[in-house]
Amino acid sequence: MEQNDKNNEEIKNKNQPHRNMRRNSQANQQGKMMPIVSVIIPLLNEEESLPELALQLENVLKKAAHNRYEVIMIDDGSTDESFNVIKQINQRNRRFRGIRFRRNYGKSAALSVGFSMAQGMVVITMDADLQDDPNEIPKLMAKLREGYDLVTGWKKKRHDPISKTIPSKFFNFVTSMTSGLKLHDFNCGLKAFKRNVVKSLQVYGEMHRYLPALTHWQGFKVTEIPVTHHPRRYGKSKFGISRFIKGFLDLLTILFTTRFVKRPLHFFGTFGALFVLIGFGVDLWLTIEWFMKKTALSNRPLALLGVALIIVGVQLISMGLLGEMIAKNSYEKANYQIAERI
C-alpha cells in the first residue's frame, strides 16, 4: 500500500512538479482550504453532455460540499471539442479542472490519473454522459459517513439496451462468486470512495470494473445503494463487444495479481504437482499390469494420458517457478502521457 501511494505521488510529481508545489504553497498562503469532495470524470467524446453535467454538479456540490470541491475531468483522447468545452467551464468556475491525454488510454487509465490528483477527503467517480445522476452524490456520501470506505451505485432500474443488461447480469454473478463480495452491480460509474482507498488502488487495463472487488480484497468496507440511471442522451456507448473478453481477462489478472502475486508457485505448483501425481500413478499401474499380465502397452491409450499429465505437470511447476522469479524482480510503473492541464 505504501508503495502504491508512493507510486501515485511519483506520477503526480513527475508530470507537474512545479505546478504541484506552487499550488500547495499558494493554497497555504491564502489560507485556502482543501476541497472536501473531488469528483473524477473520465470522458471520451462527450462534448454535448459536459455543459449540463457541470451545471448539475455545481448545484449539488454547493450544498453537499459547502462549495469546497474540485471536479477533475479527464479527457481520454477525445477527437471532438470536449477539451475546449472543459476549458470554457474552467473559465467560468475554477473548481473545474481538466487533463487531456494525448491519446485514448481507456477509462481505467483516466481514473487512475484522477485518483492520483484528487485532494478531497471524499472522491466521487462518475461517467460524463449524464447516465449517472449527480443528485445521488449526497446519498453516497451519507453512506460513507456510516463507516463504509467505498459506496458504489446499483443501477436497479437500468436504461441500457438488452444486449448490455443480460451479459452484465452474468458478469456481476461471476464477479460476485469469484470475489466473495456480494453486490448486484460491480460496474456502475458512480461511486464514492474515502480518500485513503483511492490512494492505495492501482488501476490499469480494464480494471475499473473491479474496483469494488479490489477494494474489498484490501480489507476495506464496501457496500452499494440503488441509484437513478438515465438513458444515454448524446453520442454512443464507448465500449463494444470486446468489453466482455477484455473484462474476463482482467478478472484473471486480478485474481492472480491480488491473490497469487506473492506466491505464483502456490497456484501453478498445486496443479502441476497434482497432474504429475495422477500421471505417475496411472503409468505405474499400467507398468505393474504389463509386468504381471504381460499386456502390451501399445494397447493401452491410458499410458499416453499418464505421460501427458506428467509433462504438463512439470511444465506448470516450471511456470510457477518462473512466475516466482518475475514476481521478485518486477515492479511496473504506469506512465501516462498528459498533453495539457488547466
Binding site for Mg ion (CB under 5 A): 127, 129, 131
Which residue(s) pair with 222 in the sheet?
150
Q: Which C-beta is closer to Mg ion: that of 139 or that of 158?
A: 158
CB of 13 to ligand UDP, least distance (A): 24
Q: Give the chain's largest Cα–Cα span.
A: 94
Q: Considering the complex, what minimum distance in angstroms separates the CB of residue 21 from ligand UDP?
A: 29
* Residue 235 C-beta: closest distance to Mg ion, Å: 9
With beta carbons less than 8 A apart as the criterion, state whether 112 and 10 touch: no
Strands 69-75 and 222-226: unpaired
Q: Which does 198 bind (CB under 5 to 8 A by kind): Mg ion, ligand UDP, none?
A: none
Task: Name the site residues for ligand UDP (rule: CB under 6 A).
Answer: 42-44, 46, 76, 104, 106-107, 110, 127-129, 131, 189, 237-239
Nearer to Mg ion by Cβ, of 140 and 317: the residue is 140
Using CA atoms, how far apart are residues 171 and 276, in angstroms rounded to an integer? 34
**Whether 247 contacts 254, CB under 8 Å:** no
Minimum CB–partner distance for residue 189 and ligand UDP (Å): 6
- Whichever of 238 and 300 has its CB closer to ligand UDP, that residue is 238
Interaction partner, residue 239 (Mg ion, ligand UDP, none; CB < 5-8 Å by kind): ligand UDP
What are the start-end ranges of the H helices in 65-133? 82-92, 107-117
**By C-alpha distance, which of 167, 169, 158, 156 is closest to 131?**
158
| Identity of the residue, 195 or 246, whose beta carbon is nearer to Mg ion in the bound complex | 246
Contact partner, 110, from Mg ion, ligand UDP, none, Cβ < 5-8 Å per class = ligand UDP
For the bound state, the minimum distance from the C-beta of residue 161 to ligand UDP, rounded and expressed in Å, comes to: 9
Q: For ligand UDP, which is the closer residue by CB, 230 or 259?
A: 230
From Mg ion, ligand UDP, none, which one binds at residue 70 (CB under 5 to 8 Å depending on kind)? none
CA 2 to chain centre: 19
- Contact between 151 and 223 under an 8 Å Cβ cutoff? The reply is yes
Residue number with CB closer to Mg ion (129 or 206):
129
CA 172 to chain centre: 14
Nearer to Mg ion among residue 46 and residue 283 (C-beta)? 46
Show the cell assigned to 146: 456510516
Residue 242 CB, nearest distance to ligand UDP (Å)? Answer: 11
- 167: which residues sit within 8 A by CB, 6+ positions away? 244
> How large is the angle between the packed helices 137-145 and 50-64, nearest 10 degrees?
40
Q: What residue 215 binds from ligand UDP, Mg ion, none (CB within 5 to 8 A, per partner kind)?
A: none
Q: How far is the CB of 31 from ligand UDP (least distance, A)?
A: 35
CB 85 within 8 A of CB 51: yes
